[in-house]
Amino acid sequence: MTFLVAVERDASGWRVDQDALTEAILGRWTDAAIRSKIGSEVRSLIWEFETRNGPGEAYLHAEGTCLYMDVWEDDAIWLAVLFRELTPDGLDLAFCDEGYTFDVRLQPGTTEAELADLVNRAS
């Protein structure tokens, strides 16, 4: 399933720290393959990894304010919380699935359990 975590509205020039994001992803999936899509209008970095549920992929939008995730829901929640931790508190984030079955606000300090609860209540 595809999920998305993105800054809502104007990010005022902010973009996620790609090195910090990569380091955290490699901390969870040590064998993740990393590809750069220099010149792509949509993708800047792509991480491919093997989860306990099968293969997964995440990619960062070229603007650095949006992360797409083709993974199981629990891994998407982990990635969304990670992205929130790397985002300034003043920026609003949304977390949703590709079909907009749910669309929740991801507040600073939200835990994985809290986000899972928000998703379950919104679905």
- The fraction of the chain above a pLDDT of 70, given in percent, is 94
C-alpha radius of gyration, the chain, whole number: 13
Indicate the average pLDDT of the chain.
Answer: 92
pTM of structure: 0.93
Joined together, the tokens standing for residue 116 give: 């899972």
Three-state SS letters, 46-95: EEEEEECCEEEEEEEECCCCEEEEECCHHHHHHHHHHHHHCCCCCCCEEE
Residue 40 has pLDDT above 60, yes or no: no
State which residues form the domain around 44: 2-122
Q: What is the mean pLDDT of residues 81-101?
A: 95
Total domain count for the chain?
A: 1
Domain of residue 67, CATH code:
3.30.310
